[in-house]
Chain A
Amino acid sequence: MIIIGERINGMFRDIAQAIRERDPRAVIEWAKRQEAMGAGYLDLNVGPAVADRVSAMRWLVEVTQEASKLPLCLDSTDFDAIEAGLEVCKNPAMINSVPAIAEKMDRIFTMASKYNAEVIGLAMNEEGIPKDAESRVALAMELVANCDAYGVPIDSLYIDPLALPCNVGQAHGPEVFETLRQIKLLSDPPPKTVVGLSNISQGTKNRELINRNFAVMGMACGLDAAIADACDEELVAAVATARILLNMDIYCDSYVDVFKSQNQ
């Protein structure tokens, strides 16, 4: 499972301040720290409080790609901000995210095709997040069909089945795992899958434990990536271990260290 490091986000005070003052130090520090801990991508989110998201995203991309060579995941509901980021990305990036809504898919998949970007597709539409696996899979199929129609390779599409916080939507858990399994049957090659890991534990008292368990259970169902706290050592160790148990990496005594260093 690829960890998309979540820390460069304007929801955090240090990053919000960095963006406001255009002071790159906190961004550079978090980029380097997440890379050293085993992140495979860096999520960039300018946060809700910024007035000009377009220029903020452009600045964030420029600063981050100086500090790390990891691919970037441009995280915004403002598609103009995403496009501004893509324009300045030196390497292909990931777009986070698009729901299964026609006009939004039109804009995002056109952009993905133009900038050779990967896309996170959300298994939701105008009606919100479905309750069961079946409806989630139907929306996933819409994303797959559109992705293909716009000429974006299917394995550049990461479908997020949308897991709710486990203390709020406990019944969603098994539906999400079932969705992960079924998404892998939608096409050949199949799309990839992703979740926002920290969502699952929101408002609970055992956040890291819950995240870590969900990650491992998700991997067993075919989860390819998670937007997560790359600096959670136990999470990284759990992911490295699950990769060994699923025969995705060849075992050696130092397998956790090898996993951390693989993207460097």
Chain B
Amino acid sequence: MAVEVSKEKYRSQVREVVLGATKEEGGTRSHTVKVGGETALPFLHFEGEMPNRPVVAMEVWDIVPEEWPASLKSYFEDVYDDAGAWAKKCVEQYGADLIAIRFKSADPDIKDASAEDCIATLKKVLGSVGVPLIVYGCGKSDKDNSIIGPIAEAAEGENLLLGVAEQDNYKSVTSAAMAHKHSIIAQSPIDINIAKQLNILISEMSTPLLDRIIIDPTVAALGYGLEYSYSIMERARFGSLQGDRMLAMPTIANVGHEVWSKKEASISADDEPGWGDQAERSMAWEATTAMALIQGGMDILVMRNPRAVELIKKSIDDLMQDNS
């Protein structure tokens, strides 16, 4: 006798967000990337639709990432002086679906680069790759607030994904996204209530932006509370499938940033002989963290190690096979 698989039925779905814009749409991207649109839990193709596969963005910095361990740095050694070439290598050689550019040079304690410097870098990257771009500032909000407007203006129509809006600091980036037709990352500190409230605050400034928000729920690396991030994502996804429109946005995770700042990724085998080869271990750490997150419904992974990216893209291929 055949066993009947019991299926869950949901009444709502995750919003679909388009990143990037082609020439016809007012930008210069060779193609756009769609994320979200799920009508069921991740990869349960027999219960609903998962119209868009999770995508991988690779990080490009506008300075040499001195803090990265040598085993990671070595992949990009030939392109550190040129963000455009770095981006091109990520797309053409390592298969990045998106490029996430981080304007580290703008940090007042590093180079204090101006908005004009950042715009020049951005133009270079826009010229060298055709994929849609994610833009992060230096992480210091006062400086980021001052450069995000000019950057958004200089790339008007490109539909960049602008980072990041936070509960206490969302107006500059929201205004920039509104005025110059970009999408926006809404970041909350592993707190579902703030994630929801922030989306409401952004939508109060601009209702149409509701369809251009990507939630960054903030994730933790494997071993650092990944389970907690996972449970938040799960709860948000259940909420959105059951009709909570204010949480029904696709999600993004800064996987590389979280993993590579942990000692498990960076300590050498000489210092911790029991932990095994650092290059292999760190790659596995990033890939495992990313793998858990896509199982939880993550739509965009921002990653660093090309081998981890390769593994994850292969896993996504497998998971996207029809199982209905």
Contact = CB atoms under 8 A, between A and B. Distances in A.
A253 B200 CA distance: 9
Interface string B232-245: 00011001000111
Nearest to A258: B246
A258 B200 contact: yes
Nearest to A264: B245
B71 interface: no
A249 B240 CA distance: 10
A257 interface: yes
Interface in A219-264: 249-254, 257-258, 262
A249 B246 CA distance: 11
B44 interface: no
A173 to B, nearest CB: 31
B245 A252 contact: no
Contacts of B243: 262
Nearest to B199: A252
A18 B243 CA distance: 36
Given A258-B246, A262-B243, A262-B245, A250 B197 contact: no
B244 A250 contact: yes
Nearest to B236: A250
Given A257-B200, A258-B200, A251 B193 contact: yes
Contacts of B244: 249-250
10 contacts: A250-B192, A250-B193, A250-B235, A252-B194, A252-B197, A252-B200, A253-B193, A258-B196, A258-B200, A262-B243
B209 to A, nearest CB: 16
B191 to A, nearest CB: 10
Interface string B179-207: 00000000000001110110010000000
Contacts of A257: 200
B200 A250 contact: no
Contacts of B247: 250
A222 B295 CA distance: 33
A70 to B, nearest CB: 15
B235 A253 contact: no
Interface residues of A, number: 9
A254 B236 contact: no
Interface residues of B, number: 14
A257 B200 CA distance: 10
A127 B324 CA distance: 52
Chain A binding surface SS class: loop
Which of B192, B196, B245 is most buried by chain A, counting CB atoms within 10 A of its CB?
B196
A254 B200 contact: yes
Contacts of B236: 250
A147 to B, nearest CB: 20
Contacts of A251: 193, 196
A200 B243 CA distance: 31
Contacts of B235: 250
B8 to A, nearest CB: 13
Interface string B243-287: 111110000000000000000000000000000000000000000
A251 B245 CA distance: 13
Contacts of B200: 252, 254, 257-258
A254 B197 contact: yes
A258 B236 CA distance: 15
A262 B243 CA distance: 8
Contacts of A252: 193-194, 196-197, 200, 246
A257 B193 CA distance: 14
Please give me the 3 A-B residue pairs with the lowest Cβ-Cβ distance, nearest first: A252-B196, A252-B197, A250-B239
Nearest to A257: B200
B62 to A, nearest CB: 36
A91 to B, nearest CB: 15
Contacts of B245: 262
Contacts of B197: 252-254
Contacts of B193: 250-253
Which of A252, A254, A257, A258 is most buried by chain B, counting CB atoms within 10 A of its CB?
A252
Which of B194, B244, B246 is most buried by chain A, counting CB atoms within 10 A of its CB?
B246
A252 B197 CA distance: 5
B13 to A, nearest CB: 15
Given A249-B244, A250-B192, A251-B193, 8 more contacts: A249-B239, A250-B235, A252-B193, A252-B197, A254-B200, A257-B200, A258-B196, A262-B243
A232 to B, nearest CB: 23
Contacts of A258: 196, 200, 246
Nearest to B192: A250
Contacts of A253: 193, 197
A137 B250 CA distance: 44
A250 B232 CA distance: 11
Nearest to A254: B200
A251 B193 CA distance: 6
A78 to B, nearest CB: 33
A251 B192 CA distance: 8
Contacts of A249: 239, 244
A257 B204 CA distance: 11
